[in-house]
Structure 1
Amino acid sequence: MPKRPHPPPPNRRKKTPKAPETADEYLAVAVELEESGERWRSGDVAKAGRFFVQAITAYETTLVRYPNNFDARYNRARLLYTLTQLPLPATFFPTNSTPESRLLAAAEAHRECNDLEKNSSDILFNYGQTLSSLGEFYANKPQDEIHDEEDESPAREVERLLQSKQAFESSWEVLQQCLVVQEADYKSTLEQSQSFDGIDRDGGDHMNDDDDNGDNYDYDNENGGVRLPPERRDSTTSSQSSNGGSNNGTTAQWASILEPTTKLSILDTALTMLEVQTSILTLSTPTTATTIFTKEYLEQITAHADTTLNSYILPIAGKLHEEEEFTQLGLEGSEVLEKEMEATLSRTNFLTALAEAKYYLGLSTLEIWEEEVKSAFDPFTLYPPPPPSTNQPTTAEYKGLIDLTTSWMALCDRSTAYTTLSTILLPQNPSKSWKLLSTISSPSLSSATKLAPEKEKPGIYLARGNLELLRSKIPIEAAEKGKDVLLKNAGVYYRGVVASAGSSLIGAVDGVKIREFVEEAKVKEAVIKLEQDGDWEPLKGVIRGGVGRDAVWKIVKGAVEDGVFGRDVFMAIAEKMRG
């Protein structure tokens, strides 16, 4: 049977998209690109990043045509910051772009937005977060030369920490402004709500009462209901006046939909403020504390933190359990518990950082430091139990006593706090150092492993391996006798990092961070074998497996600084890598 001739192929040429003409159309292009980036964010970080870069370019194009378009300026600033928080490789960016320059650009973009619209809590909060991230960058800034075998000089360290401190202080000031704006907005919302409650309490229907200042609606007698009156010229905003000019003469009406400020918004800002204050305190080290801090400064930051805690965080978090409160805020029971724990842990972390800074400044002793850490992690009464009722028994379970041992995050923070204390104790009292690590730090991480979600377990296993390495280096008889077991345990935990990293519950963004954990675990396990047996093959295998030499060097150097590997191993690896 002969084949029938095919019909001519249809014209599948894509239509050339119409070039945007109005401000709305320019924004629509940028927003579509941004939304595409958001869709890829959990699956392909690099692809999401490319869409975000295109969206930034589209917002900048909008601003060239419409310099006064605030939406484009705000969204551009927000995306510039988003790019700094994505785990993108250095090769993603232009060669002249650095993490520092990208954060500075995001901060400058937010400053420009804030200059244009002073009383926007959204802008202020984003600006404060950007400055806080800049402070974190300076606090952890790597040395320029990764192969520099010399430690960071004291002067260079102080300069870096002062940069970080300044960025954190600027962040705190901006967030404080944000809190003032939010309080005013919240008060205004309450007053409006109360005024609405007062309307028409007598039950009468005043909608159709004559009023000299009425809405002047036209009644549609033919179809029923009302017709809106004709629009007045002064009630519309032309695209020329709101968007920097337009040649097409069209009229665009812009409406800003603002979410009302709630107690939850205020709580989030206050928590971020306290986190920034805690970050400032963590900049103190045994060698630099007296250079970057004074007793008066510590008293000042403590007073500010007390205000943040006692005027905002604890009162608001302490009422979230009340039915009227969490219903109004739209919170589920589990979300209330999370916020209560977050508020309590923020207080604890500030107190532990304060205790450490006080010791470094010579304002307390090791005994006082230890006692203050213990007290900070004790169960905390967020709100008192209800008074006993004489009419009927209370059936609701009291949950106001917050037990931090039920939170994997708190357990990890507890382990870190005692590990830091143990490290300082080590030269003076190695037995006490061993005891703290063995009876508090290690069990805390063990409990955290059982409570943490899958995506957090690689990081906890890494911390457990590091802790076993640290214990193996303590110069006491128990550590000497158990050294082989401790090193074996460290290897088990490092392999646990690799095994748990394969969970299908780990998304793309977390996956990048976890790959770094895996690299660190593999390198440290290989260095253990090198230190024990002089066997180079495991470390060579790690490099052949894709871990870069720079990454290996950075991991080993950090471990030597932490005291878990000897200087001789460090020098041997340096010599080998140079060869």
Structure 2
Amino acid sequence: MAKPKQFTRPPKKQKSKVVDPETADEYQEAADREEEAGGKHRAGDPAKSGRAFVRALEIYDKGLRRYPTNFDLAYNKARLELEITQHPALVEHIGVPLIDLLAKTLESHQYALRLNEENPDTLFNTAQVLTSLAEEYSEAGHSQNAIPLLQESLELLSGCLARQEMLLEQQQVDFQDVEEGGVQLDPDEQPASTDGSDASEQTVTVESPLTAGDLLDTVHASLSALTTLIPLVEASALQTYGDMARAFNEKKAASYISLLPSDMHDSARFAASLDWAIFIAAFADAQYSFMAIELETYLQGLEAFNIEGKEHSAHALCAEAEARTELAHSTVDQAATSSGSEQTCWTQLTKSQDLYSAALKLDTEDAKDRRANIYQSKGDVELLRNRLASAPGTTLSEGVQRSAKTLAQNAQKYYKGAAQLARSDGDGELEVKAKQRWMIAADIAAILYGIEATERPFEGNPQSARGNLIEALESVVEEGLVEMSLGEEIMKRMRG
């Protein structure tokens, strides 16, 4: 899912605790206290954190019922809902499916936009919700619902960027006036716009000073939305969106990076290069799926990941691994049987495993946060490699074919690791998914190689704890990790 930038909120006002809020400010202060409590427990006790955030949302709702035109309350309620959607452990304890929570979050953002349609943070965050909701629809196979959401997201981001450019330009003019002898306003005297509320609410909205980094965040979000959109559109639309992405990368990003302090240029260029590489990989995959380019041209597109310093970034390593895995998926989907394409798939999947392994060795916070997902991805790669190595009539070497049994066993180990890490992280959804795939990998080993598992993930667990195993099997078949006829054998074994 696309990640929002740091959520902007008005500075907290230091006042004594109010038991029964009366003014809009008092409702905001009461919600602040619950948000602080939720933040303290988010890592160690997601359930307690979730309860605190729910109380904060209830306070926002009460405040908005009393002051329905107060922008700060509307914005902060929407912001908190968006923040919750970014943390799977919190979503689980909120007790609402993610897609439903995102739909509710969208309604809250649309409400805030009606109160202040020019606020750049609201425009940005609304676009993020639209992109995240579209990703959920896309993963569920409902691209017809995802496409208009992504198009609307891009429109909002375009409006956000125009607003940000105008504000940044005005800030630069104001700063120039100060340097030429004008008197700079005290922060408390900065112009503030009313939010349309009744004067008795005692609340005004102060727009925080913008930086070139804020504009780069909007470019990043735009490229992320385009990356999600590209696989869903018709071939005739590809060039239009490709040109749009190129303009963001070559004109907008380059211009904004030049406005940053010099010591931030390298990191900003790295981030922009990675955004572009991820888009190019998606664009090449879409072109290849429409048979508009050859496999060799697709491979050349992945050279965009040759970014200096990528070995220190778990994000970059995983993004490249996903792109190379996707190439193998697409080649298998086209039923390519030539020795050249089979060997290309095998080579790309081997590179993917190496990239994931390199990411696991990093000691950064980002790498640690990704560990459960990386292990699951490594399990997926092993299943796909097993499919290639065990395919009847494969032209891969005998050594590769002999490795098939080991690949099925490796997949079980990786899925087990993913399940254990997901449980430690409080991500129940990923834990169940990893266990389901662990069970499927165990069945593959039993059916193809006669190796019965000594440990099964759902041993002794009620059926409800296993989730929908048949649906999970259909998913891996649809993803191309397991060939259809083998999937049917696994289904018989599950039912037996």
The TM-score with structure 2 as length reference comes to: 0.81
Deviation at 1:245, TM superposition (A): 7.5
Match of 2:22 in 1: 21
Are the structure 2 counterparts of residues 530 and 479 from structure 1 closer, same or farther at C-alpha, using a change threshold of 3 Å? farther
Q: How far has the Cα of 1:531 moved from its partner?
A: 2.0
**Pairwise CA RMSD of aligned residues?**
3.6
In the other structure, the counterpart of 2:149 is: 167
Cα separation, partners in 2 of 1:519 and 1:305, compared to 1, 3 Å: same
Q: Which string of whole-angstrom CA distances, capped at 9 and with x for unpartnered residues, describes residues 478-527 of structure 1?
A: 466544533324423542454477679x9746x54653564245324422
Give how far 1:466 is off. 2.5
Check 1:237–1:313 CA distance in 2 against 1; reply closer, same or farther (3 A cut).
closer
Letter matched to residue 515 of structure 1 = E
1:185 maps to which of 167, 170, 178: 167
Separation in 1, partners of 2:68, 2:373 = 46
| Pairwise CA distance, 1:432 | 2.5
Alignment of 1:40-51 (within 5 A): 40-51=41-52
User: Structure 1 residues 122, 517: closer, same or farther in 2, change over 3 A?
Assistant: same
Q: 1:263 aligns with which of 182, 187, 212?
A: 212
* Partner of residue 301, structure 1: 241
Please point out which of 422, 441, 449 is paired with 2:328: 422
- 1:36 is displaced (CA, Å) by 1.5
- Does residue 87 of structure 1 match 2:88? yes
Aligned to 2:354: 446
* Structure 1 residue aligned with 2:4: none
Structure 1 CA distance for aligned equivalents of residues 69 and 176 of structure 2 = 36
Say which structure is richer in helix. Answer: 2
- Counterpart code for 2:327: L
SS of corresponding position for 2:347: helix
Contact 2:127-2:156 at 8 Å conserved across structures: yes
State the AA in 1 paired with 2:42.
R
C-alpha distance 546-522 of structure 1, shift in aligned 2 (>3 A): farther
Structure 1 range deviating more: 341-350 or 409-418: 409-418
Aligned twin of 2:410: 492
Using the TM superposition, give the Cα deviation of residue 119 of structure 1 relative to its aligned residue in structure 2, in angstroms: 1.4
Do the aligned partners of 1:281 and 1:357 also contact (CA within 8 Å) in 2?
yes
Alpha-carbon distance, 1:318 to partner: 6.1
Identity of aligned residues (%): 25
CA distance in 2, matches of 1:17, 1:514: 41
Once residues 440 and 397 of structure 2 are traced to their aligned partners in structure 1, the CA distance between those partners, rounded to angstroms, is 19
Superposition map of 1:192-211 within 5 A: 192-199=174-181
Equivalent residue in structure 1 for 2:271, among 334, 342, 345:
342
Structure 1 residues 479 and 467, CA gap change in structure 2 (3 angstroms): farther
2:305 corresponds to: 377
Structure 2 counterpart of 1:76, one-letter code: K
1:529 CA displacement: 2.9
8 A contact 2:34–2:55 mirrored in 1: yes
Give the whole-Å Cα distance in 1 for the aligned partners of 2:453 and 2:281: 42
Give the TM-score normalised by the residue count of structure 1: 0.70
**Alpha-carbon distance in 2 for matches of 1:571, 1:539:** 23
CA positional deviation for 1:576? 5.4
Instruction: Kindly name which structure, 1 or 2, has the bigger radius of gyration based on alpha carbons.
Output: 1
Partner of 2:5: none
Residues of 2 paired with 1:535 and 1:77: CA distance? 52
Counterpart of 2:88 in 1: which secondary structure? coil
Structure 1 counterpart of 2:10: none
1:553 paired to 2:478: no
Which of 443, 466, 472 aligns to 2:386? It is: 472
Gaps of 5+ in 1: 1-15, 142-156, 201-205, 208-234, 247-251, 284-291, 327-335, 380-401
Unaligned runs of 5+ in 2: 1-16, 185-190
Q: Which residue number corresponds to residue 488 of structure 2?
A: 571
Question: 1:319 and 1:188 mapped to 2: Cα distance?
Answer: 15
Q: Which residue of 2 aligns with 1:139?
A: 138
Q: Distance in 2 between matches of 1:437 and 1:168?
A: 31
- In the alignment of these two chains, the number of paired residues is 462
Query: Does 1:351 pair with 2:351?
Result: no
Mapped contact 2:436–2:472 kept (Cα < 8 A): yes
CA contact (8 A) 1:236 1:253 kept: no
CA distance in 2, matches of 1:473, 1:236: 62
Could you tell me whether the CA contact under 8 Å between 2:443 and 2:490 is conserved in 1? Answer: no
- CA distance in structure 1 between the aligned counterparts of 2:220 and 2:293, rounded to whole angstroms: 27
| Distance (Å, rounded) in 1 between the aligned partners of 2:48 and 2:219 | 34
Q: How big is the shift at 1:104?
A: 2.1
Q: Does 1:523 align with 2:454?
A: no
Query: 2 CA distance for matches of 1:412 and 1:236?
Result: 43
User: For structure 1, which segment, 301-310 or 170-179, has the greater mean C-alpha deviation from structure 2 after superposition?
Assistant: 301-310
For residue 557 of structure 1, report the CA deviation from its aligned partner.
Answer: 2.0
The aligned residue for residue 118 of structure 1 is 117
Distance 1:269 1:304, change over 3 A: same
Q: Is the 8 A contact 2:38 2:53 kept in 1?
A: yes
1:410 to 1:430, Cα distance in 2 relative to 1, 3 A: farther
Give the match for residue 254 of structure 2: 314
